Amino acid sequence: MTINTGASIAEEANQSTVISDSSAITNTSFNVGTVTPLTLADNVTLANAVLIVNMAVAPAVNKAFHLYRRDMNINDAGDHADVPNANHKSIHIGSFHVAPRTGEQFVSLPAVPVSKDQEFYIENDTGQSTTGTTVVKITPWTYNAKA
């Protein structure tokens, strides 16, 4: 397929690791490991998210990790939304549905909404605990004209 000059195409920015948690994330818990803020230089509103997770015990069918966004510097520098937790889940932006099997899984979540400055958190809703390091990567993208 040939794409015409001037047509809108998706253009990706560099991928960033926004969560890297080497501790076990138990069922119904949020990650507590390293959270790296994502600050975008351009006004991009969408990103693709990827979850890399290890499960020692297979989750049941149709179980997921839920992805939440915490907006930062909302009004002025230092004005941040609360960190998502069991009592305040903040902005839910999607769910990574995992396969009912053990081992490492790579799960994508396309076109999630992002803001100018944010952190990301995941909630384990699989019925099982994670093992190894759980990672979430974000790749911002936008539309641009094909040259």
Was domain 8-145 assigned CATH 2.60.120? yes
Task: Tell me the residue ranges of DSSP E strands in the chain.
Answer: 8-12, 16-21, 34-35, 38-39, 46-55, 64-71, 91-97, 103-113, 117-125, 130-145
pLDDT, tens only, 44-60: 999 999 999 999 999 99
| CB-CB contact of 80 with 71 (8 Å) | yes
Q: Please, what is the average pLDDT of the chain?
A: 95
pLDDT, tens only, 18-76: 999 999 999 999 999 999 999 998 889 999 999 999 999 999 999 999 999 999 999 88
**Is the whole-model pTM more than 0.75?**
yes
Look at residue 1 and tell me whether its pLDDT is greater than 90. Answer: no
Q: Where are the domains of the chain?
A: 8-145
Look at residue 2 and tell me whether its pLDDT is greater than 90. Answer: no
Dist CA 90 CA 71 (whole Å): 9
Q: Which of 41, 39, 141, 136 is nearest to 95 (CA)?
A: 136
